[in-house]
Chain A
Amino acid sequence: MDPWDVIVVGAGHAGIEAALAAARLGRRTLLLTANLDTVGKMSCNPSIGGQAKGQIVREVDALGGEMGRAADATGIHFRLLNTSKGPAVQAPRAQCDKPRYAAYMKRAVEAQPGLTLRQEHVTDVLVEGGRVTGVQVGARVYAARAVVLTNGTFLRGVLHQGLEQHAGGRMGEPPSGLLAALAAAGIRTGRMKTGTPPRVNGRTIDPAAMEAQPGDPEPVLFSFLSQGPPPLPQVSCWVTRTTEATHAAIRENLDRSPLYSGVICGVGPRYCPSLEDKVVKFPDRASHQVFVEPEGLDTLEVYLNGISTSLPPDVQARLVASIPGLERAEVLRWGYAVEYDYFPPTQLWPSLESKAVAGLFFAGQVNGTTGYEEAAGQGLVAGVNAARLVALQPPLVLSRDASYIGVLIDDLVTRGTEEPYRMFSSRAEHRLLLRHDNADERLTPLGRELGLVDDARWAAFEAKREALAAGRVAFARRPHLARAMRRQEAVLEQVAADLPDVLALPAGVRRLLETELRYAGYLERQAAQVERQRRLEGLPLPDDLDYRGLSGLAVEAREKLAAVRPRSLGQASRIAGVSPSDIDVLLIHAHRRRA
């Protein structure tokens, strides 16, 4: 049989976007998953988006990806965060109906022409002469020109509950091996950990004892194609708090915690600590928030966001019962911690292709990230680049100044990560330019060029772009109004009260215009910064540059540069341990080579 163009291993949030992108670019694509019933499963909390992550979802959508539409179709609680803190840090977030989200995604991959979905347990990757040739399934082989690995937390996964542990990638599901060929190719692994909280039966909680947290009355959706109100009925979430009794339960049982008894050695995320960590590291805090989030409309299961724990079940029962509103709550599933292997991502090119094995791409949690959104963004890029590799096209590398996905991948391949990497808006140095409201302007033309954006999306985008251009022209012709818009809290509809053409623009376009005008000075400054940075980005460094033979570099910089092999001087400048003087040495070298 002919080899597949692209095989994607794993049908989680990264694998789905990778497979859809490769198939939409016309490659014969095979998506393999160990369990067809967990395609698109949300293994952790039921939410999509949030600070910086919401922007990533909109970027995935602007590039023709699926995540935004899936979240809009299955969201049951939408909020726009940070509305009072400035336009660039506003971010959409939704609680989704978990089973429906997974069902939507399974149907999306099933419905995609050119994409074959199949349940198979992949046991190894095939590598010949430094190039991937396919995957192994027991004794059988699937040949492929490119392979995308999106194994999530399944690589040598170990689940911890108290001092008990067993092998697994997610509760109730076996781990995967898959390491032999990669280890033989010299690809290193590291160890990380993450955790989940207990889930309880919604019938047994007392909403009256908690603070209700309703969604926005006029939800901001993720997809640039979504119109009108969300299709599903909307529900409320609740907020409650831990108590002294909760903390006492934890303190008395620390010796039974795998985290504090030294059983877990993987590095956990500092921004998403277990409740044990919070109580130990911040002993002065008498109480911590607990967000009570329904997991769907057809289930009463409720997620207790904020109390991730790997303490044994009897302690979990005690601490749940110590929280107001949850005194009589029945636990449906216990929380646990999972330790898993990841591949330190500095072993990848900015295309997400392995430096050691040509044609092999990595995306998602295997690269040391957390979050559905981070996974989806990488998956899309890996899928596009696997497809382009097969067609002998140059890879897609998104820049830091045009997308959070670009920031994410550049951070990963340049600086690596020691803890599970989550996106924060503060990681983006050009944050004002990377807003959720302009993700389409930043990326949809590129998506169209790549072949990811269909005619319907393109037509909608062009209509918006024309409306925006008209609005910009209207203000460019009236500098006094543009100046008036720079005042604090200037409202477009008031300043442009006499301009019916502007008032007739769609509401979304008017808000975007308002932001552009209000922060014009700052936006110009960031654009100028981007220009300066681009000059360094434009100076290429050869892949085979012998850093160890380059005198003048500090020893640490020499090692780091040799490991990362940056593609440009700009990328080199962001490597931890590379100082401005090292960059000067490279600058001299780059000039000399060109001469």
Chain B
Amino acid sequence: MALAAPERGTPDDTVVALSSAPGASARAVVRLSGPRAWALAGEVFAPATARAGGPRAGSREDGALRLPGWPPAPVVAVWLRAPRSYTGQDVVELWVPGAPPLVRRLLLVLEAAGARPAAPGEFTRRAFLTGRLDLTQAEAVLALTTAEDAALARAALRALAGGARGRVDEVKAALTDVLAHVEAAIDFSEEEIDHAPGAALAARLDGAASAVRALLTAGRARPQAGTEPVVALVGPANAGKSSLLNALCGAPAALVSPHAGTTRDVVGASWRLPSGRVARLLDTAGEKPATSEVEARALDLARAAAASADLVVQVVDGLDPRPPANGSSDALVVTTKADLAHSLGDGLRTSAVTGEGLLALGKAVDAALAGRGAAPELTGTARQEAHLGRALEAVARAADLLRGQDPARAELAAVELGAALEALGELTGAVTTDDVLDRVFGQFCIGK
């Protein structure tokens, strides 16, 4: 996600967009941002009670929307002045009745008056350009608006609140501190400063490296927006996998028949879990001796799907509860056909007919998926991962150097620490040589 350089336009023009969800609704929010936001809004907004000197910054005003050829419509205007707005620019929000034709007309009138339609993500980009959000926060906003389930949204909210920034800043502080020791030993070699031994500094770097690694893992563990966790149903032919899928997803996605081996292709559907998280549920060809080329290929596909899934649900036929042939140890085991009296078998009992056990299965899957990876605080974009990776390598090399015997270790460790700080600086802002010197003078009695 390239926030650094907007593809078009600059913050010098004024943009407009519908900020609420498209379609009919009780209320729609049209947002203007840029130097002419107030002037443009003034062209379509008539306040209920005119105020001498115009609207007040930070105020909310009732009034009427005046569009050429349309009768007045009730509207609330929110007036914000730079830099105290989301984008850091002058902003006006117009809350209008959520009728799509009215909204379209309003946007057209504002565009005719000189506003440019905002590009996707442009309000957030402006917030970044004006320094209202740092890069990790801006990325978090974009992740939040595209979050498809509660877990993603919570992670994005944490990142937006600066959760990752705090942790990155802690790592930076630790690195700056070690660098100050290294630099003090170089620049003030004649002074009697209390040099921390190389091993002690290296140990501090190990701690910093673990913290970076944790951030990196958190970023990776988190599925990318738009790619839900994948849960695969596997089991013998005719065990009831397709019926289970249809029941869980609430739609007849998979063809069902009493004949074993009905499912050949991998069939997938969206499954909303009790947590609100959406998983991709896969139905695979049942395990049975292949009698044809097509069936053999279907089994290959099933195995591949199971192998790449985040979670495997081993389905046991309640009427024929044989232990799974080569079930994986961390698979969830469910037994089907619980509505039939003579159904037996281990694991969670479910019935696609009565719905028995389906909620419990959902909760079990939620719990299993939640265990995969701690709640992330960084929205794990490729950019962040690259910077964290660079920082981690440099910190590890610096630690090795400080432990080692190379005569130039102080000098080279300083290079590595500088590189690590630069990489982390790309995430949340730079550390300058002044910062390092401030620490040196704060900690050591220098002065020949």
In A192-215, the 8 Å CB interface with B consists of none
Asked if residues B130 and A554 are in contact (CB atoms below 8 Å), the reply is: yes
Minimum distance in angstroms from A84 CB to a CB of chain B: 6
In A487-509, the 8 Å CB interface with B consists of 488-489
Asked if residues A425 and B5 are in contact (CB atoms below 8 Å), the reply is: no
Q: Which residue of B lies closest to A277 (CB)?
A: B447
Query: Is B12 in the interface zone, CB < 8 Å from A?
Result: yes
A-B contact count (CB 8 A): 144
Asked if residues A425 and B187 are in contact (CB atoms below 8 Å), the reply is: yes
The 8 Å CB contact of B446, one of A270, A551, A552, A585, is: A270
Interface size on A, as a range, is 35 or more
The 8 Å CB contact of B5, one of A51, A285, A518, A588, is: A588
Hey, which chain B residues are within 8 Å of A489, CB to CB? Answer: 405-407
Interface stretch (choices B24-32, B162-170, B259-267, B430-438): B430-438
Minimum distance in angstroms from B89 CB to a CB of chain A: 7
Q: Which residue of A lies closest to B436 (CB)?
A: A426
Minimum distance in angstroms from B131 CB to a CB of chain A: 4
Query: Is B329 in the interface zone, CB < 8 Å from A?
Result: no
User: Known: A425-B187, A585-B129. Is A85-B410 also a contact (CB below 8 A)?
Assistant: yes
Minimum distance in angstroms from A319 CB to a CB of chain B: 15
Most chain A CB neighbours (cut-off 10 Å) among B11, B411, B430: B411
Most chain B CB neighbours (cut-off 10 Å) among A522, A553, A584, A592: A584
Most chain A CB neighbours (cut-off 10 Å) among B404, B410, B426: B410
User: Known: A85-B407, A426-B414. Is A551-B12 also a contact (CB below 8 A)?
Assistant: yes
Q: How far is the CA of A393 from the CA of B426 in the complex (A)?
A: 39
Asked if residues B445 and A278 are in contact (CB atoms below 8 Å), the reply is: yes
Asked if residues B187 and A51 are in contact (CB atoms below 8 Å), the reply is: yes
Query: Is B43 in the interface zone, CB < 8 Å from A?
Result: no
Asked if residues B437 and A426 are in contact (CB atoms below 8 Å), the reply is: yes
Asked if residues B433 and A427 are in contact (CB atoms below 8 Å), the reply is: yes
The 8 Å CB contact of A271, one of B6, B35, B409, B447, is: B447
Query: Is A162 in the interface zone, CB < 8 Å from B?
Result: no
Q: How far is the CA of A84 from the CA of B130 in the complex (A)?
A: 47
**Cβ contacts B351-371/A at 8 Å (1 or 0 each):** 000000000000000000000
Asked if residues A86 and B410 are in contact (CB atoms below 8 Å), the reply is: yes
Query: Is B156 in the interface zone, CB < 8 Å from A?
Result: no
User: Known: A271-B446, A579-B429, A588-B5. Is A426-B404 also a contact (CB below 8 A)?
Assistant: no
Asked if residues A89 and B411 are in contact (CB atoms below 8 Å), the reply is: yes
**Cβ contacts A60-86/B at 8 Å (1 or 0 each):** 000000000000000000000110111
Asked if residues B191 and A289 are in contact (CB atoms below 8 Å), the reply is: yes
Query: Is A548 in the interface zone, CB < 8 Å from B?
Result: no
Hey, which chain B residues are within 8 Å of A582, CB to CB? Answer: 131
Query: Is A483 in the interface zone, CB < 8 Å from B?
Result: no
Minimum distance in angstroms from A344 CB to a CB of chain B: 16
The 8 Å CB contact of B186, one of A82, A587, A589, is: A82
Query: Is B376 in the interface zone, CB < 8 Å from A?
Result: no
Q: Which residue of B lies closest to A270 (CB)?
A: B441
Query: Is A328 in the interface zone, CB < 8 Å from B?
Result: no
Asked if residues B432 and A89 are in contact (CB atoms below 8 Å), the reply is: no
| Chain B residues touching A, majority SS | loop
Query: Is A361 in the interface zone, CB < 8 Å from B?
Result: no
The 8 Å CB contact of A85, one of B186, B404, B419, B445, is: B186
Query: Is B1 in the interface zone, CB < 8 Å from A?
Result: no
User: Known: A271-B447, A289-B448. Is A82-B131 also a contact (CB below 8 A)?
Assistant: no
Q: How far is the CA of A81 from the CA of B190 in the complex (A)?
A: 8
Asked if residues B429 and A555 are in contact (CB atoms below 8 Å), the reply is: no
Asked if residues A551 and B35 are in contact (CB atoms below 8 Å), the reply is: yes
Q: How far is the CA of A245 from the CA of B145 in the complex (A)?
A: 69
Hey, which chain A residues are within 8 Å of B189, CB to CB? Answer: 51, 81-82, 85
Asked if residues B187 and A581 are in contact (CB atoms below 8 Å), the reply is: no
Q: How far is the CA of A555 from the CA of B411 in the complex (A)?
A: 38
**Cβ contacts B12-43/A at 8 Å (1 or 0 each):** 10000000000000000000001100000000
Query: Is A576 in the interface zone, CB < 8 Å from B?
Result: yes
Hey, which chain A residues are within 8 Å of B126, CB to CB? Answer: 552
> How many residues does chain B have at the interface if contact means C-beta atoms less than 8 Å apart?
53
Asked if residues A424 and B187 are in contact (CB atoms below 8 Å), the reply is: yes
Hey, which chain A residues are within 8 Å of B382, CB to CB? Answer: none
User: Known: A488-B404, A552-B10. Is A291-B437 also a contact (CB below 8 A)?
Assistant: no
Asked if residues B445 and A285 are in contact (CB atoms below 8 Å), the reply is: yes
Asked if residues B408 and A85 are in contact (CB atoms below 8 Å), the reply is: yes
User: Known: A86-B411, A581-B128. Is A576-B432 also a contact (CB below 8 A)?
Assistant: yes
Q: How far is the CA of A306 from the CA of B192 in the complex (A)?
A: 12
Asked if residues B412 and A522 are in contact (CB atoms below 8 Å), the reply is: yes
The 8 Å CB contact of B408, one of A278, A519, A553, is: A519
Query: Is A415 in the interface zone, CB < 8 Å from B?
Result: yes
Query: Is B177 in the interface zone, CB < 8 Å from A?
Result: no
Minimum distance in angstroms from B314 CB to a CB of chain A: 50
User: Known: A86-B408, A272-B448. Is A592-B10 also a contact (CB below 8 A)?
Assistant: yes
**Cβ contacts B260-277/A at 8 Å (1 or 0 each):** 000000000000000000
Asked if residues A576 and B434 are in contact (CB atoms below 8 Å), the reply is: yes
In A82-100, the 8 Å CB interface with B consists of 82, 84-89
Q: How far is the CA of A519 from the CA of B408 in the complex (A)?
A: 9
Q: How far is the CA of A584 from the CA of B436 in the complex (A)?
A: 25
In A283-298, the 8 Å CB interface with B consists of 285, 288-289, 291
In A549-592, the 8 Å CB interface with B consists of 550-555, 557, 576, 579-582, 584-585, 587-589, 592
Asked if residues A488 and B406 are in contact (CB atoms below 8 Å), the reply is: yes
Asked if residues A551 and B429 are in contact (CB atoms below 8 Å), the reply is: no
Asked if residues B411 and A88 are in contact (CB atoms below 8 Å), the reply is: yes
Minimum distance in angstroms from B233 CB to a CB of chain A: 48
Asked if residues B407 and A584 are in contact (CB atoms below 8 Å), the reply is: no
Query: Is B304 in the interface zone, CB < 8 Å from A?
Result: no
Asked if residues A426 and B187 are in contact (CB atoms below 8 Å), the reply is: yes
Query: Is B4 in the interface zone, CB < 8 Å from A?
Result: yes
Q: How far is the CA of A87 from the CA of B405 in the complex (A)?
A: 15
Query: Is B240 in the interface zone, CB < 8 Å from A?
Result: no
Asked if residues A552 and B412 are in contact (CB atoms below 8 Å), the reply is: no
In A24-83, the 8 Å CB interface with B consists of 51-52, 81-82
User: Known: A426-B183, A488-B404, A587-B5. Is A525-B130 also a contact (CB below 8 A)?
Assistant: no
Query: Is A174 in the interface zone, CB < 8 Å from B?
Result: no
Asked if residues A551 and B131 are in contact (CB atoms below 8 Å), the reply is: no
Asked if residues B434 and A415 are in contact (CB atoms below 8 Å), the reply is: yes
Hey, which chain B residues are within 8 Å of A281, CB to CB? Answer: 445
Hey, which chain B residues are within 8 Å of A424, CB to CB? Answer: 183, 187, 433, 437
Q: How far is the CA of A52 from the CA of B411 in the complex (A)?
A: 13
Query: Is B252 in the interface zone, CB < 8 Å from A?
Result: no
Q: How far is the CA of A432 from the CA of B413 in the complex (A)?
A: 12
Sample of 5 further A-B pairs with CB below 8 A, known A289-B191, A424-B433, A425-B186: A51-B189, A271-B446, A289-B192, A554-B130, A581-B129
Interface residues of A (CB under 8 A from B): 51-52, 81-82, 84-89, 270-273, 277-278, 281-282, 285, 288-289, 291, 305-306, 308, 415, 424-427, 429, 431-432, 488-489, 518-519, 522, 525-526, 550-555, 557, 576, 579-582, 584-585, 587-589, 592
18 examples of A-B residue contacts, CB within 8 angstroms: A85-B189, A86-B186, A271-B446, A288-B447, A289-B192, A306-B447, A426-B440, A427-B433, A429-B433, A488-B405, A488-B407, A489-B406, A552-B10, A552-B129, A579-B429, A580-B430, A581-B130, A588-B6
Ranked nearest first, the 10 interchain pairs of A and B with the lowest CB-CB distance are: A86-B411, A86-B408, A552-B11, A282-B445, A270-B441, A426-B183, A554-B131, A273-B447, A424-B187, A488-B406
